[in-house]
Amino acid sequence: MKNLVIVESPTKARTLGQFLGPDYQILASMGHVRDLPKGEFGVDVDHNFEPKYVIPKNKMKMVNQLVKSTEGVKNLYLATDPDREGEAIAWNLLKVIEQKSKAKLASQKYERVVFHEITKDAVLDAFSHPREIDQNLVEAQQARRVLDRLVGYKLSPLLWKKVKSKLSAGRVQSVALRLVVDREREIEAFKSEEYWVIEVEVSGQSSATRDQVFVITLAKIGGKKAEVKNQKEADEAVTDLKAAQYTVESVSSKEVKKYPNPPFTTSTLQQRAANVLGFVPKRTMSVAQSLYENGLITYMRTDSVNLSPQAIAQTRKFIEEKYGKNYLPEKPRLYKVKSRLAQEAHEAIRPTSIKVTSDQLPVASSDEKKLYDLIWKRMVVCQMAEAVVNETAVEVIANSKQQTTDSKKYLLRANGQQIKFDGWYKVYAKAPITEQVLPDLEKGEPLDFKNVNPQQKFTEPPPRYTEATLIRDLEKNGIGRPSTYAPTISTLYDRLYIEKMEGKKIAPTPIGKTTVDFLMKYFSDIFDYSFTAEMEDDLDSIAQGNAEMPATMKKFWGPFEAKVEKVTEEADKMKVEVETTDEVCEKCGKPMVIRYGRFGKFLACSGFPDCKNTKALNSDTGMKCPDCKEGDVVTRRTKRGKTFWGCSNWPKCKFASWTKPKLPSSLPKDDSAASEKTSEGAETSDQA
């Protein structure tokens, strides 16, 4: 009679097998074994919102094999992930086994084991301290699933009727979309204003400073903040500054300590991976999952910045041995998150062994090495000594020779910074600050004028969201939880609510805007940022045992159901705006418009349904196709927003390339060598 251990994935099973030995059989459930049914509501709102669970057809064979494997085992261990979802998977596994097992499970010993890293010590410790399934965590996960079903299954059909077919609404998804749409509306309403920045190049007059030219920037005019708003004002200032005498008004210098960032949470890891590696959140979490299941990092779904004493001690020892004692702070660094809802019992994301660097990683994937390197470096620097930077500020007075009053007295400033001790900066190939060294100057010292550089600028609107900044604001507003960020953003792409723009920016599509307009017109209270955050608090209260699911659901359901019924009867159908183009339909002569389909944007005749002409929306590069020599090379996008290049004569010509082809004049004789054809095919609106 063996011990049976059930985990979620085969990779995790293989890693556990290295530590538990031959007395343990380890099987994978391949994720959830039960879920709410597709195609029906699946929640009994009249009986405490009881969910109706079913085993998906594609899981039935695997579930039966799992159940059969439990028969006659000595001990049954449920070793699913250490969060609410993992707890719910363990509970559902237990329920399925109880229902299907021939022998009563009560005669067997079954335990829940939890570990935040898959290392020998952590796993053996978890198996020596098993516990029961935490019903509060299970109920919290059920409440989240039921609430999402209540919102999705009531609002989605309403959107089909009032906006467009095949749309969806979600408790977190729709609020995330609202953030993107609100930002886009800010940008559209923004009115740019002209302003001027005036910089002056000067140098000292002594032999030591004469060759050190540095830049000072106009800061004040007549004792007030310099506001140069047009060409005339700029010209007046430039004329005065060219004729002025420059004198150092003050010099101040101070040493500033620059402290390292805390270790990664799910949110900060996704943001950093997006900014540095260009990973979308879904990709980050997939790579992190693989690293965790291979025993290389701690659990990757966490909102805590806690670190175990053992991990801190190991890291401090590594720092002292590799970098020296002066890079080690006197005491270990301890971090706390600002959110009162963070699960402090969890750990931050860190390597399971600080001795393993990315170049020693036993994995083949470059993505895994890149992400591991980010995690490893963040763990090391969070326990290192602070960097010390010398910051210098110089103020310079410019007195015009023709000046008779102080009303046009000019004050200019320069700021410099120089690293005195690199501290935690040493871990990175490039320091996160740019040094700017100013010459040694003294108060009252005259300066020589070299040049003046007036620069016309215009105020800019707030930037569009990137995936990283969207996650940042979701977390800041308490919308969703670490495990929801990646699937939420993926859903927005899949539903064509948002699209990828140039430079990692994301923008709402017309469908996204119209959906938000409809939801905010009729359900503004439910999709209010603060209401969504409060609902997250309620769900966390259930997890902490301070609230019960039926009462929480009832408080939400009554008013919500009544409002849905009222809106269904009274609301008018919304019209989705379409973007017109200068292109004319060759079949009927009407203008072509931009529409959105399964694979993104395409051109369609505005005369639809009378004229059903459509074509790909391409961006001409001005190059001829290197394969057929007839079509043009055009820029296209996959449904995920990735750019590639293809032939305008598709499907007649199959040319497609992930890299931009060279100009025809520089193509080699063998044209096929210049085209990096995609063996798997690009996911496009016209080539899928």
- DSSP letters along 291-357, please? HHHTTSB--S--------HHHHHHHHHHHHHHH-GGGS-SS------S-TTS-TTS--B-BS-TT--
Cis, bond preceding 463 (omega within 30 deg of 0) = no
Beta bridge partners of 410: 221, 398
What angle separates helix 173-189 from helix 485-494, to the nearest 10 degrees? 70
Q: What angle is formed at CA 675 by the lines to CA 671 and CA 677, rounded to 5 degrees?
A: 135
Among 110, 299, 465, 522, the one annotated catalytic = 299
Beta bridge partners of 595: 602
Question: What is the CB neighbour count within 10 angstroms for residue 298?
Answer: 29
The Cα 402–Cα 400 span in angstroms is 5
Cis, bond preceding 130 (omega within 30 deg of 0) = no
With a CB cutoff of 8 Å and minimum separation 6, the contacts of 521 are: 571
Convert 63-117 into a string of H (helix), E (strand) and C (coil). HHHHHHHHCCCCEEEECCCCCHHHHHHHHHHHHHHHHHCCCCHHHCEEEECCCCC
With a CB cutoff of 8 Å and minimum separation 6, the contacts of 434 are: 417
How far is the CA of 423 from the CAs of 104, 417, 430, 613, in angstroms? 61, 15, 13, 64
Q: Among 573, 509, 628, which Cα is nearest to 184's?
A: 509
Taking the C-alpha atoms of 398, 404, 407 and 413 in order, what is their torsion angle to the nearest 10 degrees?
A: 10
CA atoms within 13 A on the CB side of 186: 13
Question: What is the CB neighbour count within 10 angstroms for residue 58?
Answer: 8
End-to-end CA distance of the chain: 52
Would you call 583 exposed, middle or buried from its count of C-beta atoms within 10 A (0-12, 13-18, 19+)? middle
CA 636 to chain centre: 24
Tokens of 631: 């079509």
In this structure, which amino acid lies at residue 161?
A: K
Task: Clarify whether 246 is annotated catalytic.
Answer: no
What angle separates helix 266-277 from helix 467-476, to the nearest 10 degrees? 160
Q: Which residues participate in catalysis according to the annotation?
A: 299
